[in-house]
Structure 1
Amino acid sequence: MKLYVLNIIQPVGEIPPPEVLEPVMAELAEVRRDLERQECWVFGRGLEQPEASTVVCMRGDEVIATDGPWTEGKEFIGGITVVKVVDLDAALKVAARFTQVTGLPIEVRPFQGEV
């Protein structure tokens, strides 16, 4: 088995109103329950908006923290889901379910090594 992260790519901007967002979240909860039944679900969570980020890095010998995202962009990773599946094809099938529900692009990336 292999671990994959599914990064949900969101556009920067206003969060959809509850009447739009709540049905999507309900469908995503059903996808999660299905993955849990299949014992594929590892972890998943939404992320705060990019402006809530803090970047920690080295500047010479000094560690500094800077408010804001690493890079500015029109899109950001709005949430992640980690799944444990047999191969990339299985991870892509899970990602397809997420993109069908959200309408958003999903980046699928394997973790290094096997589980």
Structure 2
Amino acid sequence: MKYLMKIINADPTIFAALGKEERNEIHRECGAWHEELEKKGQTLFAAALQPAETATTLRHSGGKVVVTDGPFAEAKEVLGGFEVLECADLDEAMAIAKRFPALKSGMAVELLPLVPDGGCMED
């Protein structure tokens, strides 16, 4: 089963307030954590994201597509990155997520099962 592990920066000011060496250490620990997942075949793809203010949002409104620079809604939490996990079940995905080093810096993770075979959800 594939799971999307959304890495959520619950309050960007907390991470920003850490010292440079502490932030770098968390980045190193996250890199080692990811390499371990690669060796075990438990990750399919991962990426960090640029800050939310670099986003472009598209919505359908009034019969046309409206483009907005930046995030559409103000939010305290921002998506910082993601990891696509390959796991036997939710328990395995949770065990992996619990070891994510950035949790100790105030970040959170959310696990979502992917629709099998990249298909669409049906009623």
TM-score range normalised by the length of the shorter chain: 0.7 to 0.9
| C-alpha deviation, 1:44, in angstroms | 1.0
Unpaired runs of 5+ in structure 2? 119-123
2:113 match: 110
Alpha-carbon RMSD: 1.7
SS across alignment from 1:70: coil
What number of residue pairs does the alignment pair up?
112
Q: Which moved more, 1:81-90 or 1:68-77?
A: 68-77
What per-residue deviation string (whole Å, max 9, x for no partner) do you get for residues 75-107 of structure 1? 111111111111000000111011xx1122111
SS across alignment from 2:38: helix
TM-score, normalised by the number of residues in structure 1: 0.87
Structure 1 residue 5 corresponds to structure 2 residue 4: yes
1:89 match: 91
For 1:110 and 1:90, how far apart are their aligned partners in 2? 12
More helix by percentage: 2
Give 1:61's match in structure 2, choosing from 56, 60, 63.
63
Percent identity for Structure 1 against Structure 2: 29
Structure 1 residue 32 corresponds to structure 2 residue 34: yes
Structure 1 residue ranges (4+ consecutive) displaced by more than 6 angstroms after TM superposition: none
Residue pair 1:3, 1:114 contacting (<8 A) in 2 also: no
What per-residue deviation string (whole Å, max 9, x for no partner) do you get for residues 23-44 of structure 1? 1111111111111111111111
For 2:41 and 2:111, how far apart are their aligned partners in 1? 19
For 1:62 and 1:49, how far apart are their aligned partners in 2? 27
For 1:114 and 1:64, how far apart are their aligned partners in 2? 31
For 1:67 and 1:50, how far apart are their aligned partners in 2? 10
SS across alignment from 1:107: strand
More strand by percentage: 1
TM-score, normalised by the number of residues in structure 2: 0.82
For 2:57 and 2:20, how far apart are their aligned partners in 1? 31
